[in-house]
Each structure stands twice: as structure tokens, then as C-alpha cells.
């Protein structure tokens, strides 16, 4: 396993003085370069990050595994299971994916100018109600079309939403600095206010069923690994994309429909580590 990111837990979020504690995140890398064996069960995966906020018993279990990391893209799976005693809290998991794309030499380059790449998954549950199991599958698929190739970030969340649940998902790049976790371990913390990417906060509620339901979010971005930074050019998201169309687009792209909404933005890319010699960096 590798320490790739961290978990922030805030309690008493409905009060004027919430309390935050931070814990290193251990990740099972079952794909190259480590190709570790997968835990045999979900319970074994959850046991890789058993978090005690104030001593026994355990208040939160978090399991993260990398199941794909090759030329086609990357897939990361997450399980988050709070104990019933954890209430009025927020849990944010930040998975640092720069290990797979950047030369993370913090001595020579203590804080890359363009920051480090994080996948963010979290939830808030206010008041006296606890939270049930949250499952997430996060992936990047690299298109192979020759003209204007795009990378598609796919985020899928599963849980029970018979009661309103606040969810946080995203893909961001932030500069980091050395910090000390609640456990005393060193980790790299994202700096507040230094943010590039997309962070989506939503409330999911389906009172018709208490069964597990899936929520899917896809972020499509043009690939520009070595291209110069470009000015942001806003474009109208609807009623449809004007010609000429990019591969995969249809004249109806951008038109909101029931349960589905699409937005068009221009992304700005850089090599990811301008303080040193450019490496083969690709921001996730």
C-alpha cells in the first residue's frame, strides 16, 4: 500500500465551532506499478484505513484501491463506512494521483507551481442522523481519436438516498505544503484558496426507495499535455453545439433533459511541474 492523500473529518458541523481532524490515506495499488493483490472482501478493504477520532472504538472505515493504471486510463474505487456514533459530521477523502504522473521530488521541487492532482469524494450528514455506506468508482478514460482527443473523468457514487444526503465530488489541482496529521504522520496538504478544476456539491434525495442507487457524473476535457496555456473561452451550452462538431458530439449536446445536464467549458493545461525540468506529466 501507498500513502496517497488524506481524509479530513469535521464534527459538529451544525455548530459555530466545528472540529477537524486529518488522517493519512493508505491506498491499495492493484495495478502497475505495484500490482498488489486485492483485499479478498470489502471488509478487508475497509480495514486498511480504520480511523479512531478519540480512541477506541473505530469511528470511520475508508478503503481505496487502484484497479487500472495503463494507456487506456485509470480506475480508483472507494468505500466509506462511518460508525453509527459518527453524526453531524463531514468526511472528505482526497486521493493524490500525482504519484502516477509526476516526479514528486519534494526536495528539488517542494511545491509544483501548478500543484498536485487530487480526486475528491466526500459527504456531509447534519444533525443527529448518521450516514450509511458510500461507494464510489472514479476513472479517467483516454480517447484515441486523432482529432481533438479528450479525456473523460467518470465519477459514480452509490448509496441510499431515501433521506437527503450532501455529496462532494471533483477533480482538482492544488499546490501543497508539508503538514502533520492527527496521528503525527507527515503528509502533503492542499493549500486553501489555490484551486484549479471542478468541485461539485450536490444534495441527493430519492424518497421512493431505501435501496442502493447510483449517481453518475462525467467530466470531458480536451487533452493538451504539452500545449501552451490558453485563455478561457466561454461557449453557450445549449440548445446545441454549433458546427463544426467535435468527434462524439451531436447537435443536441448541451440541451438539458430530465435527470441530465451538460456544460461546456475550456480547460487550461500546463506540464504540471514548472519549477523543474518538465517531466511526462498528465494531470488526471
Q: Where are the domains of the chain?
A: 2-222
Rounded CA separation 284/282 (Å): 6
- SS3 at position 150: strand
CB atoms within 10 A of CB 189: 17
Run means of pLDDT, 10 residues per run, the chain, 284 residues: 93 92 95 91 95 92 93 89 92 87 54 73 86 86 61 81 86 85 90 78 86 79 46 48 48 43 42 37 34
Question: Residue 259 in contact with residue 268, Cβ under 8 Å?
Answer: no
Q: How many CA atoms lie within 13 A of 11 on its CB side?
A: 14
Q: What is the DSSP string of 40-103?
A: SSHHHHHGGGEE-SSSSS--EEEEEEEEEEETTEEEEEEEEEE-TT--SEEEEEEEEGGGGTS-
CB atoms within 10 A of CB 115: 24
Cα 259 to chain centroid distance, Å, stands at 22
Output phi, psi for 74, to 5 deg.
-145, 145
Residue among 128, 134, 133 at smallest CA distance from 12: 128
Q: Looking at the whole model, is its pTM more than 0.85? A: no
Rounded CA separation 283/103 (Å): 12
| Strand 60-70 versus strand 19-29 pairing type | parallel
Give the pLDDT of residue 150.
Answer: 58
Buried b (16+ CB within 10 A) or exposed e, 249-275: beeebbeeeeeeeeeeeebebbbbbee
Rounded CA separation 279/282 (Å): 9
Amino acid at each position: 500500500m501507498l500513502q496517497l492523500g488524506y481524509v479530513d473529518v469535521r464534527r459538529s458541523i451544525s455548530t459555530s465551532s466545528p472540529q477537524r481532524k486529518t488522517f493519512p490515506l493508505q491506498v491499495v495499488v492493484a495495478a502497475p506499478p505495484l500490482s498488489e493483490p486485492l483485499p479478498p472482501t470489502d471488509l478487508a478493504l475497509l480495514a486498511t484505513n480504520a480511523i479512531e477520532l478519540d480512541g477506541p472504538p473505530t469511528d470511520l472505515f475508508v478503503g481505496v484501491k487502484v484497479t487500472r493504471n495503463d494507456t487506456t486510463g485509470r480506475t480508483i474505487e472507494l468505500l466509506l463506512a462511518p460508525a453509527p456514533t459518527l453524526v453531524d459530521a463531514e468526511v472528505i477523502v482526497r486521493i493524490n494521483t500525482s504519484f502516477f504522473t509526476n516526479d514528486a521530488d519534494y526536495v528539488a521541487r517542494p511545491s509544483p507551481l501548478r500543484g498536485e492532482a487530487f480526486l475528491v469524494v466526500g459527504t456531509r450528514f447534519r444533525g443527529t442522523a448518521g450516514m450509511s455506506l458510500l461507494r464510489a468508482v472514479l476513472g479517467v478514460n483516454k480517447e484515441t481519436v486523432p482529432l481533438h482527443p479528450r479525456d473523460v473523468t467518470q465519477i459514480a457514487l452509490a448509496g441510499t438516498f431515501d433521506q437527503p444526503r450532501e455529496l462532494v465530488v471533483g477533480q482538482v489541482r492544488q499546490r501543497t505544503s508539508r503538514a502533520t496529521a492527527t496521528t503525527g504522520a507527515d503528509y502533503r496538504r492542499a493549500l486553501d484558496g489555490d484551486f484549479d478544476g471542478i468541485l461539485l456539491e450536490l444534495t441527493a434525495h430519492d424518497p421512493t426507495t431505501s435501496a442502493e442507487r447510483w449517481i453518475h457524473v462525467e467530466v470531458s476535457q480536451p487533452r493538451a499535455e504539452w500545449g501552451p496555456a490558453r485563455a478561457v473561452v466561454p461557449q453557450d451550452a445549449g440548445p446545441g453545439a454549433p458546427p463544426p462538431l467535435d468527434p462524439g458530439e451531436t447537435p443536441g449536446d448541451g440541451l438539458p433533459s430530465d435527470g441530465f445536464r451538460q456544460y461546456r467549458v475550456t480547460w487550461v493545461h500546463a506540464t504540471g511541474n514548472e519549477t523543474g525540468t518538465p517531466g511526462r506529466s498528465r494531470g488526471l
